[in-house]
Amino acid sequence: MEYSQPDFYRFNEDSFKLVDVVCKHHQKASSILDAGSGCGIIGIELARRIKVGELHLLEVQKEFKEHIEINLKNFLPQQKASLSLLSFSSYTPARRFDLIVCNPPYYLPGKGEPNKNPHRGVCRSFLIDSWKELLGLFQRSLTLDGSAWVVVKNDRFLHSFIEKEVKATSLQSLIIPTDDISFFRFTLHSEYKC
């Protein structure tokens, strides 16, 4: 069975690589937030591979809603799951999450090739929200011992940009580089856990 996806965008292998890395560090989570979930692939695959109490998907584009619902029904029919159609900056969680995962837009505004399809453009570039809003979402949504995992392209400029943004938050980050992509792990800074 294949994942239902809209015509304008297809997830890539980076989503599965993120799931693999997260599964190496987590065997269970009482709650997962898949931020910028697209069709739900990352959150659903995690819920299929580790013990999950509750799955929540957050997606700004309503065009993904039908595909998320189909994928939840096909791949996680027994899993407790919910969906919010909001931007990172508009989302106020009703609870905090042990685990947050995100395959964010790879390009900053003005970087990368412009896209003629506006929906695809939102998937590829930070046209709605920004790294600041995504990191703010992590700050207000993580449990004290929770972690947020993000996959990004290997780009020194992007890594430096993210690290600079992190310094203005209550988060700390760890980078796990590979040949073609990198994984960031964000946690609340220890001084904020007291």
pLDDT in tens, 8-18: 677 778 899 99
Residue 28 pLDDT > 60: yes
Report which residue type is found at 110. G
Burial class (CB in 10 A: 0-12, 13-18, 19+), 164: exposed
Mean pLDDT rounded to a whole number for the chain: 86
Q: What is the pLDDT at residue 164?
A: 93
The 10s digit of each residue's pLDDT in 54-99 is: 999 999 889 889 999 999 999 999 888 999 999 989 999 999 999 9
Distance CA 96, CA 166 (A): 20
The 10s digit of each residue's pLDDT in 93-122 is: 999 999 999 998 766 665 556 666 555 544
The full set of domains in the chain, from first to last, is 16-192 (3.40.50.150)
Burial class (CB in 10 A: 0-12, 13-18, 19+), 70: middle
Q: What is the pLDDT at residue 126?
A: 59
Q: What is the pLDDT at residue 194?
A: 42
Distance CA 129, CA 21 (A): 26
**Which residue bears the tokens 């993904």?**
64
- Taking residue 28's Cβ as centre, other Cβ atoms within 10 Å add up to 10
Tokens linked to 138: 């992590």
Q: Taking each helix axis from N to C terminus, what angle separates 41-49 and 13-25, rounded to the nearest 10 degrees?
A: 40
Q: What is the pLDDT at residue 120?
A: 54
Burial class (CB in 10 A: 0-12, 13-18, 19+), 109: exposed
3 state SS of 187: strand
| Cβ partners under 8 Å of residue 93, min gap 6 | 33, 56, 140, 141
Distance CA 47, CA 87 (A): 23
